[in-house]
Structure 1
Amino acid sequence: MSTRHLDSLFEPRSVAVFGASDRPSSLGATVWANVAGSGFEGPVWAVNPRRPVLGGERAYARAADLPEAPELAVLCTPPDTVAKLVAELGKRGTRAAIVMTAGLSPRQRSAVQDAARPHLLRVLGPDCLGLLNPRLKLNASFAHVTAAPGSLAFVSQSGALVTALLDWAAARGVGFSLFAALGEQLDVDFGDLIDYLASDAHTRAILLYVETVTDARKFMSAARAAARNKPVLIVKAGRTQAGQRAAASHTGVLASSDLVFDAAIRRAGMLRVQTLQELFAAAETLSHPRLTLRGPAAVQRERLTVLTNGGGAGVLAADAAQAADVTLAEPSAAVYAALDRVLPPRWSRANPVDIVGDAPVQRYVDAIAALHTDASPGTLLFVHAPTAIVPAAEIARAVIPSLQRSPLQPMTCWLGGDAVREARALCHAAGLATYDTPEDAVRALGMLQTYRRNQELLIQTPPASPPEPLWHAAQVHAPIDAALAEGREWLTEPEAKAVLAAVGVPVVATHSVAPEPEAAVAAAQALGFPVALKIVAPELGHKSDIGGVALDLDDAASVRDAATAMLRRVRERQPGAAITGFSVQTMVRRASGLELIVGATLDPLFGPVILFGAGGTAVEVVADRAVALPPLNRPLARALIERTRVARLLAGWRDVPAADVDAVCDVLVRVSQLLADEPRIAELDLNPLLADAHGVLALDARIRVDARGPGGSRRFAIRPYPSDLSETVAWQDRQLTLRPIRPEDEPQHLEFLARLDPNDVRMRVFYSRRSIEHSELARLTQIDYEREMAFVATAPKADGAGEETLGVVRALCDPDNVEAEFGIVVRSDIKGGRLGERLMRKLIVYLKARGTQRLVATVLSENRRMLDLAGRLGFDYDVEQPEPGTRRIVLTL
């Protein structure tokens, strides 16, 4: 992942267009006209070997003739010239190029990469529309219109969508910080762009149009980091179920690639929109900062109040609210009283608040003021249909000041065309979000609601974990080893249940494989009646589909008869199946038990994914399911459950008590751990997993394995907690644990901060104060281990009630993994014992192993303790000091 030299791409000081032309309608002519005519203040040069002058400006024959190396080169030349040009420009010092040329062969693409790599020259494209930076008046594209400056960035794989959004933005007055079309992503990809824009001070929100992602972990790491700082919206095209045709398990059928991508977006704290129209609505919403406030107050703003002069418009808004799962606010008695005082007796006396179509200007103003009687937070949607009584523009001028001052976050909707055009323009100019229809406005609010929920998942802090379950590694691996040794990819049902039981998943008592009917009878007698009987044939798919399951067998005769009949049916329907016998299990009867499915499969892009939903034999027909990316903890598992319809049944209904949802969450977490630790698991089904008030029980299980080990934590799109980096060390008279920080550390991390001396806080590294918000603490304890590391030193408390944090060292790597900036804090009352040195040496070893080149920090010149430690560790002083009173220290790794 790299943002190196992207500033040369997006904020260049000079631009040269290769293939510039004056031939009408040609690519070179369009791009040159846009670059030369956009008002860019730096030098712009045209390069064309056959045209000495273009548009009255001198044109240069070749790169060597240019006055200096252009910081950005735009290539509109034939495919066979691109690699040579890139090599020549790289040697001269050019650091970025946009390759608009289409039709490069694989050989030519590879040649371009080889030419750019030695010079670290960044390439956007090929086959791309280019980019626009409206703030710099740079239009290095062949778009037909330019963009106004603003705070939204739009990155797209489709040039057509760029031009469509430009058209839309021009009509709506929405401005942008950057437009970029990625094209074929030869070099610069979504991960690079998201990383760059995450730290771009001119970008407040990022919009993405995505067809494919090339590196899932890079994409997820960049997206998670960006989404912590600013809204990231994505519209994903190319939904497909092609991958389902080869699936052999329920999970493989249900976990479509689009569902997986949706799960990735949620996990990254982004917001997905489904259509171009929704993307436009989201862009309208995000261009108004008041609609994207964060924190607990923002989450409460999902309550909607509709104020309208038309009953029909109010009904449309209410219907849209129900469809978008947006809650209509219930006005308080004080609000009703205030509205009664300013509205005619025939007003709706409900939300939506219909102030009646004959309303004069003052009634609008008074009604808005009445809604402010109650200080409860929420959103106010102002909907106006034009009438002949008062011009819409006059109403807009009257209500805009009230809406701008409103404690409710305001949205406006002016229904109609020419009659409300001026009113819309006035609201735009006043910074108020404006929509064409009530449905558009409510859908936009629903999207914000989903976005805020995704943000809560991104920064939520799990509760302290219970003691680790006894993990029987040998019992996990042995059945898999045995199956692979026999050339089988599917475990038998008893083997699959043995694996799950070894990781703590409750499974129904099951006898090992009985080879023939009489052995099945003996097994049933040993277990006790009633029993369930199932055929064991590893190659078979779903046993019930071919008559391979018999339930509620109450005696030996029924088991014998069922086994004999089962053999006959299976041999008739699957004559080539290798039948190894029967499994016999205790028959479970739970009247109020719900049949669930928990599964796992490998997505080609995002690696292991976990599925949850309603189970049973009709699982594909019902298709009530959701998927999530591991690793999971209990809060993330609960969020996965809540995205299904069966979650409502788990909460209980009528005389059926609520199921033990925590037990279901534990199964999901244990499956997540299993997927991390055993890379040979390729597919897994627990179906049905029975759940009720007494807990959960897996009645059936299937596991497919692959000797190549295609799964495991290394394939997780989100890097899991690196427990292998934990160690126990002796320090003074105590045993310390040095380990990576965990999300569960938030409470003890807060205690640690509270025990820092104010002067240590001033010397700082990570913290500017001891009082810290939950969202900030979550960012310190919920880190992305792919790009950041924090090691804590912990020890048992003196009273034995848990552990305490004694010190922490943190390093944040740049996206190129060239430089990591570190900070270290040791609790003020235990300084002087060289604990900080222990932590620093652990950090240095870790960074060397991951290939980081330099470790740096900015230290106050008076912080002698830190400077002395740096000297012992081999740091050098940088020649430049960042600011007076500071020193920059550097350790070459």
Structure 2
Amino acid sequence: MLHRYACAMSIRNLDSLFDPRSVAVIGASERPFSVGGTLWRNMRSEGETVKVYPVNPKYQALSGERCYARVADLPETPELAVICTPASTVVDLIRQLARRGTQAAVVITAGLSGEQKQAMLEAARPTLLRILGPNCVGLLAPHAGLNASFAHIPARPGELAFISQSGALVTAMLDWADARRIGFSHFVSLGEHADVDFGDMLDYLASDARTRAILLYIESIDQARKFMSAARAAARNKPVIVVKAGRSAQGQKAAASHTGALAGADGVYDAAIARAGMLRVDSLEELFLAAEILTRFKGPIGDRVTILTNGGGAGVMAADAAAASNVPLAELGAPAVGDLDAVLPANWSRGNPVDIIGDAPAQRYVDALNALSRHPDDTGTILFIHAPTAIVPATDIARAMVPAIQPTGKPGLPLISAWVGGHAVAEARELFLEAGIACYDMPEQAVQAIGMLQRYGHNQAELSEAPPSAPVEGPVSDKSRPDTARVQAIVSKVLASGRDLLTEPEAKDVCEAYRIPVVATRSVAADPEAAANEAASIGFPVVMKILSEDISHKSDVGGVVLNLQDAEAVRTAAREMLTRITNSHPEARLDGFTVQQMVKMHQAQELIIGASVDPTFGPVILFGQGGTAVEVMKDSAMALPPLNASLARALIERTRVSKLLAGYRDVPRVDMDAIVATLQAVSQLLADVPEIAELDINPLIVNHAGAIALDARVRVSAKAPAGSAHFAIRPYPEKLIETMVWQGQALTLRPIRPEDESQHRAFLESLDPDDIRMRVFYSRRTMERSELARLVQIDYAREMAFVATITEADGTEKTLGVARAQADPDNIGAEFGIILRPALKGTGLGRILMDKLIGYQRSVGTRSLTATMLTENHRMRQLAQALGFAEQASADSAGTSTLTLDLQTLHN
């Protein structure tokens, strides 16, 4: 296994990779159709933006320029090197480049062994030389005039970044995009991503001003927590769209539980992409459809669509496409219909789609649009479809509509357009595109894009959730707390006995300990007579199951018999079960029988809730339709823990069975809270007990009155693959919550959370403009909701904000101050800031918050804390001096100074 160091590097020196001042092409050649020849031509074809040096001992000159035999012969240290020499030369070349001070390299070469790749990384590590590849096509950065690739054509300049693991796909995508005049800010082939990987690229591109959307082609992920942290940070800034190869791949090999069999890698990627706020699409064409909609759509993402069209046929086609894509059409209310009646001919469709008739002049389009815009709660997203006519030029219609879609000083309408046709609508389409309005050629494409937009909205909602490892909703009592010690005792006993599979009674004990309702089960009946006696004491009817450490799926071997009505039926069933299993599985150890009450719930659904450990993303949770045919039905979805109530409900909604759970005909809605509570309990179990390797609750029977688990399986592992430390998403760090008495009242110091949005807005609005100017150099006290969301929806793996709060007399929480630190992706340094309510200056609260922040950043290994401060901020200077910060006047900004605290030196 490679000991990769990118997890500690991230964006270090990536500027040298994508915007170098000088490049050495090692292996440059004039041979036609060779990699070295193509690279040399591509590098030179971009003009004089970058200084390019050829390195190849076989030539004295290339294309009229001096060719250098060795790296040591170069007249200057190249900021970037591109290597396309044999695999046996790569390690030494990287060592030479590192000694010269080169900061980045693209290793085109394929065929490096594991040992060679490891040696390459070790040679680069001392000087932090970054490596793209090996075995890659290279990279293109059109804005920097850089084509360090052997692609057959250059990339057009644009605002999309495309990152791919597949080299073949890189060249195909370039060709496809060039034919459609699609441009890129960056075009990168990761190859074997020994160093620079998806996490690094997401970190780099998240703050790149030239990139408005990031497109990823993923085959596999190596470092899940790094990837998820980077993806969640990037997705808060701009759309991230993913094509993940392998939807049709076979699932994991048969496991001890249904969950293990169902939890194939593709479903886990679905869960990870959704939780990170990204959007997954199925094809390259959809990738660009999604990029168009996500970067151009204005307004809130609605869950319904109103179609506005000048052609009935086009409207019907769009409605059919909406039905096929599960995009609901809006039901227009009487007020909206009345407003449309006032501006449309009497024979208009009077429904959705809104057909304004083919002879409509330009003003009718505007009037209809204005009528719909007055009822946003009714209409949702507007899909405008126009087919050309000979009556009114499409260009005139577009010119009239753009001001109505984007009225001056007001937010734009949530509108998507489809100009159907060719030359007749080309200019109208361009006018819409110039105005930043999402535009498609066909109604079906537009509907497909709307479906993507809605999925993206759901994923962005999941991104904003930051649940702790344990649920915090509602009052907590000793009775409702899970009995973790009881579970750990069971697990320790099982592992000590040499087993990894819990018996059914042990598995149900685990469920009970985490407050998951289970049907009562008599522990062990050794023989048919004992089973009959147990059944009599429970009361008939009963269910009897075989008890064996060697048989997991009991129903598959005839090891479950239902609805036994009397003792004799139990005896007979037990004897037949023993004979049947002895014949079919003679090697199985048979420990007896379990007997439990036969549960009958009226109008109930059978569900499955499970957990397993994915080799990449760690613990995952599964929910779906349950029963013995669960693998055949394949109606399930997965989510990454930790889960809160909102995320649990989102998981449920991703399954087909959720429609049945909502109620139908005379069947009432099931107790959704009971399902949500079970999902949260499983999430907490995975966080608390690292030894859990698989869990299966199947079936979980649920109806309007509640839920109960009829069967459970649990597999454990001494390797402890679960636990919150192995979660791909760091839970809300509730352990950092601290309370103290301050000025005679209870003060809480805790990490900020998404639910603080309205509370944090009130805090910001309480500040003096001068206080904000001192801290962030501007005077606004209010901010857009998207800006505010970024302050409270933080990724605790790389950013921390501690708030100091008190509880007021009416029970509401009030924020008094906040101290925040944003670490660079390498965790080398973190920039901090602190701000308090005006009346609390000089009370010592700032010192309390800064001590909390400094202690935390030191504990996670951050090397230094820094801040840029206005020199007139005397209170901040006094606080910084008391805390041991060094102050230095800023060289590039008059009136400011830099505060720095060396955390690790002081600590040591």
Rounded to whole Å, the distance in 2 between the matches of 1:301 and 1:501 is: 39
Instruction: Find 2:364's aligned residue among 348, 359, 366.
Output: 366
Residues of 2 paired with 1:367 and 1:737: CA distance? 56
Q: Which residue of 1 aligns with 2:159?
A: 151
Structure 2 residue corresponding to 1:439, chosen from 440, 444, 467: 444
Is the contact made by 1:342 and 1:363 (CA closer than 8 Å) also made in structure 2? no
- TM-score, with structure 1 as normaliser: 0.92
The letter for the 2-side match of 1:837 is R
**Which of 873, 878, 884 does residue 863 from structure 1 map onto?**
873
Corresponding residue number in structure 1 for 2:169: 161
1:183 aligns with 2:191: yes
Contact 1:403 1:410 survives alignment (8 Å): no
2:616 counterpart (605, 624, 639): 605
Q: Distance in 2 between matches of 1:806 and 1:381?
A: 46
* Gap change, CA 1:28 and 1:327, over 3 Å in 2: same
The structure 2 residue matched to 1:49, chosen from 40, 44, 57, is 57
Q: Does 1:500 align with 2:511?
A: yes
Identify which range, 19-28 or 323-332, moves more after superposition. Answer: 323-332
1:872 pairs, out of 882, 904, 907, with: 882
**What residue number does 1:455 align with?**
460
Q: Deviations over 1:378-415 (max 9, x none)?
A: 5444545567x479xx5235424424642544544455
**Equivalent residues in 2 for 1:312-461, closer than 5 Å:** 312-330=313-331, 348=349, 350-354=351-355, 359=359, 363=361, 366-375=364-373, 376-377=375-376, 378-384=380-386, 389=390, 394-396=393-395, 398-403=397-402, 405-406=404-405, 408-415=413-420, 431-460=436-465
Provide the C-alpha distance between the structure 2 equivalents of 1:68 and 1:214, rounded to a whole number of angstroms.
36
Is 1:110 matched up with 2:110? no
Alpha-carbon distance between aligned partners in 2 of 1:664 and 1:403, rounded to the nearest angstrom: 48
1:889 lines up with 2:874 in the alignment: no
Residue type of the alignment partner of 2:133: G
Q: Distance in 2 between matches of 1:412 and 1:736?
A: 53
Distance 1:695 1:781, change over 3 A: farther
Q: Which residue of 2 aligns with 1:305?
A: 307
1:824 aligns with 2:829: no
CA-based RMSD? 2.9
Q: Secondary structure at the match of 1:298?
A: coil
Conserved in 1, the CA contact under 8 Å of 2:21 and 2:51?
yes
For 1:143 and 1:524, the matched residues in 2 are separated by 74
- Please tell me whether the aligned partners of residues 24 and 78 of structure 2 are also in contact (alpha carbons under 8 angstroms): yes
Instruction: Name the CA shift for 1:794/1:510 in 2 (closer, same or farther; >3 Å).
Output: farther
Q: Which residue of 2 aligns with 1:848?
A: 858
* CA deviation vs aligned residue, 1:729-755 (integer Å, no higher than 9, x gap): 454545544443344444554555455
| Farther off after superposition, 151-160 or 188-197 | 151-160
Q: 2:45 aligns with which of 37, 44, 52?
A: 37
Q: 1:887 to 1:9 in 2, by over 3 A?
A: same
User: Does 2:184 correspond to 1:173?
Assistant: no
Letter in 2 for 1:472: D
CA displacement, residues 7-59 of structure 1 (integer Å, 9 cap, x when unaligned):
11111122222222221121122111111111352322222323333223333
- Conserved in 1, the CA contact under 8 Å of 2:608 and 2:700? yes
Q: Is the 8 A contact 1:461 1:746 kept in 2?
A: no
Q: 1:348 to 1:803 in 2, by over 3 A?
A: closer
Residue 66, structure 1, aligned to residue 74, structure 2: yes
Q: Does the aligned pair in 2 maintain the 1:335–1:371 contact within 8 Å?
A: no
Instruction: Quote the Cα distance in structure 2 between the aligned partners of 1:738 and 1:356.
Output: 62
Report Cα offsets for 1:784-838 as digits up to 9, x if no partner.
121122233445x364836554443221111011001122234444444433323
Distance 1:654 1:858, change over 3 A: same
Higher mean C-alpha deviation, range 826-835 or range 79-88:
826-835
**1:653-664 to 2 correspondences below 5 Å:** 653-664=664-675
Q: Evaluate the alpha carbon distance shift between residue 716 and residue 356 of structure 1 in structure 2; reply closer, same or farther with a 3 A threshold.
A: same
What is the CA–CA distance in structure 2 between the aligned matches of 1:256 and 1:517, rounded to whole Å? Answer: 40
Residues of 1 paired with 2:868 and 2:88: CA distance? 48
After alignment, is 616-625 or 398-407 more displaced? Answer: 398-407
Tell whether 2:296 aligns with 1:290.
Answer: yes
Contact 1:174–1:284 under 8 Å retained in 2: no
Tell me the CA shift for residue 776 of structure 1.
4.4
- Taking the aligned partners of 1:671 and 1:159, their CA distance within structure 2 comes to 41
Contact 2:418-2:443 within 8 A present in 1 as well? yes
Q: In the alignment, what sits opposite 1:266?
A: 274
Where does structure 1 lack aligned partners over 5 or more consecutive residues? none
The Cα of 1:692 is off from its aligned counterpart by 1.7
The answer on whether the counterparts of 1:465 and 1:744 sit within 8 Å (CA) in structure 2 is no
Query: For residues 16-27 of structure 1, what are the structure 2 equivalents within 5 Å?
Result: 16-27=24-35
- 2:880 and 2:122 mapped to 1: Cα distance? 40
User: 1:706-733 CA deviation, whole Å, 9 max, x = no partner?
Assistant: 1111111111110112333344445454
Identify the residue that residue 616 of structure 1 maps to in structure 2. Answer: 627
Q: 1:575-590 counterparts in 2 under 5 A?
A: 575-590=586-601
Aligned residue type for 2:18: F
The answer to whether residue 825 in structure 2 is matched with residue 815 in structure 1 is yes
1:634 is aligned to 645
Asked if residue 7 in structure 1 is aligned to residue 15 in structure 2, the reply is yes
What is the identity, as a one-letter code, of the residue corresponding to 1:888? T
| 2:804/2:818 contact within 8 Å kept | yes
8 Å CA contact 2:697, 2:713 repeated in 1:
yes
- Structure 1, residues 642-693: CA drift from partner, whole Å, max 9, x if none? 1111111211122222111112111111110100110100000111111122
Task: State the distance in 1 between where 2:732 and 2:383 align.
Answer: 44
Secondary structure of 1:566 counterpart? helix
Contact map agreement 2:504 2:547 (CA 8 A) in 1: yes
- Structure 2 CA distance for aligned equivalents of residues 748 and 433 of structure 1: 35
Cα displacement (A) at 1:537? 1.1
Amino acid at match of 1:555: D
The correspondence of residues 800-811 of structure 1 with structure 2, limited to 5 A, is 801=811, 804-811=814-821
After TM superposition, the structure 1 = structure 2 runs for residues 193-208 of structure 1, keeping only pairs within 5 Å, are 193-208=201-216
Tell which deviates more after alignment, 149-158 or 394-403: 394-403
Match of 1:99 in 2: 107
Contact in 1 for aligned 2:366/2:404 (Cα 8 Å): no
Q: Give the AA of the match of 1:399.
A: A
Deviates more, 1:452-461 or 1:376-385: 376-385
Please report how far the alpha carbon of residue 99 of structure 1 lies from its aligned counterpart in structure 2 after TM superposition. Answer: 1.3
In 2, the alpha carbon distance for the partners of 1:776 and 1:489 equals 49
Distance verdict in 2 for CA 1:483–1:466, change over 3 Å: same
Distance 2:279 2:328 in 1: 19
Find the partner of 2:848 among 827, 834, 838.
838
C-alpha contact 2:301 2:414 (8 A) present in aligned 1: no
Q: Distance in 1 between matches of 2:433 and 2:86?
A: 44
Q: Give the superposition deviation at 1:104.
A: 1.9
SS at match of 2:301: helix
Amino acid at match of 1:363: P
**CA distance change for structure 1 residues 81 and 742 in 2, over 3 Å: closer, same or farther?**
same
Deviation string 1:240-284 (CA, Å, 9 cap, x unpaired) is: 544422322111111211011011000000000011221132234
Q: In structure 2, what is the Cα distance between the partners aligned to 1:590 and 1:708?
A: 39
Is 2:159–2:184's contact at 8 Å kept on the other side of the alignment?
Answer: yes
> What TM-score, normalized to structure 2?
0.90
The equivalent position to 1:703 in structure 2, one of 714, 724, 746, is: 714
Aligned length: 879
CA–CA distance in structure 1, aligned partners of residues 131 and 708 of structure 2: 54
